[in-house]
Chain A
Amino acid sequence: MAGGNMIARHEGSDRLIKISLLVVAFSAVSVLVIITIFIFEQGLPIMMKYGLKNFLLGQNWFPSEKSFGLLPMIVGSLLVTLGALVIGVPLGLASAIFLTEFSNRRVSRFLKPVIELLAGIPSVVYGFLGLMFLVPFIREKFGGSGLSVLAASIILGIMILPTIISISIDSIRAVPDSYREGSIALGATRWQTVRMVVLPAARSGLVAGIILGMGRAIGETMAVIMVAGNAADIPGSLLAPVRTLTSNIALEMAYASGEHREALFATGVVLFVIIMILNFLANLAARKQYRKK
């Protein structure tokens, strides 16, 4: 009987722990739910009032004249995010491959923490550096004001490097050595082994790293505001200024009121939906073909 009691007591405390963990987990999720509800509640009504089409496809953003076209900002966000990926993904993957497969342990043990430190630098510092060095450089070499799609893409490309590199390193390290041995034993070079076996095996992790980097790029605000020029027009070239969805909110929220303010929340809704879609597409790409065991 005493033994039975003991077991019952243990089961009781197990259940207590289970319930409290459940509460904690749900409160984390509920924050997400609350944010979602809040943004949609504030932003949706005005979108309905002026029409979804005018919001998504309108090219003119003149809040004082009740013209809320978000297309320039949508294009802007997608453009700088794409630019950041074009710069950040090849650099990030190449660094991760070098650090895991081609450098000796001492070099990678030194470099990995340094790269992770990059993630800790506040974005305003990146923006400041961009403004001091990158923008003047672009102005002198390519013309224009220098505040441009190109500048924003480069800064964002650098900012997403630590995310892409450290997640890629983890997923490449997770590939079993038996794959590498099997490949080398068939007479493959190290590079062939990486390209034909290791990277395909690490694929889902690599895509996850790229998704997180993309999320960081599309959500980044401060650094972009400082180097992008922020004109609410669809940029005609890589050297033209650009305004992103996040910049739009941050630049105007301080003085907006009434419908203008609601339109900024609508900007948040659009951003939210775009991020959802991108995440979904990227996950789909990761799941395609061979899944890791």
Chain B
Amino acid sequence: MKKTVLAIAAGAAVAATAPAAADYPNRPIQMIIPFGVGGATDISGRALSAALGKIVPQPIVVTNRTGAGGATGSVVVRDADGDGYTLLYARVGTHTTNPALNPNLPYTVDEFRFIGVYEINPVACVVNSNSDIHTIEDLIEEVKANPGFVSFSSAGVGSMPHFAGLMVLSVFGIDDVDEDVIHIPTEGDGAALTAVLQGTSDFYCGSTSPAAPFVASGQMRPLLVTTPEAVPGFDAPTSADLNMPELEVMVGWTGIAGPASLPDDIAGMWGEWLAEAVQDAEFLRIMEAGGSQVRLMDPEESVRFVNTAADAFATMARELGITLVD
């Protein structure tokens, strides 16, 4: 018995001293997905981790830590050592919309250091195909005619669809969005779309990928997409068609972040690994099947991108008066 224990102890690395970046990585790297298994972040994160696993010299352990719209998992990474062994799959919800809507979150965006945003999700607004609403103008007229009667569903308070629904309406001239439309939070994107299908809510603005099957089958009708380019499968005006460039800030994204104390050289190594990983054929296939656009930003660009988006959304939330608490 003693022998086994000794053998294991001898074979094990002693991790009492903090590892220098020179020999990074010398043990498995934990990558935390702050959402549940099977969700969009999970599929995307696991696909990238599989590709990274072929490049990074140490194994990558993917871990789901769900709860509170991604806040619980985010806090775990914020509190981790900045040694590059604990990283987060951050998403538009955890690091843009939720911090903007909820000033009481237990973390802020600048407590993280981004090392790569790799995925962009266009956003679309959809309604039930049985609905009288055929264009975004119809929707706006409906809201203006019956303030406080039109509702939209989202994947929960602080999620991207929550923000997107309010923001799109405000861009099209609804002044008091908080008063004039009703937000119905649901358990996730699937449930939010089900609500539209059932007539529980009138519309949904969110990532195109979960909505794509319903649009393809004719159960739902797209009203607009927020990108300037058209999205395959979505026969709807783009932000360019509508001449509304302010919509373009509303896109989903996924990226990798560590705690703020993550050193430059480790961030640089990740920049190189990611550049290689996003070329992986299997990864690209999965992303394409899910309807996301792969676009890798290097560490500096990622930090800029996330900070700009976070600031813009926070300002918008304050101006629209849609923050949860004062």
A and B physically associate: no
Give B contacts to A, CB under 8 Å.
Answer: none
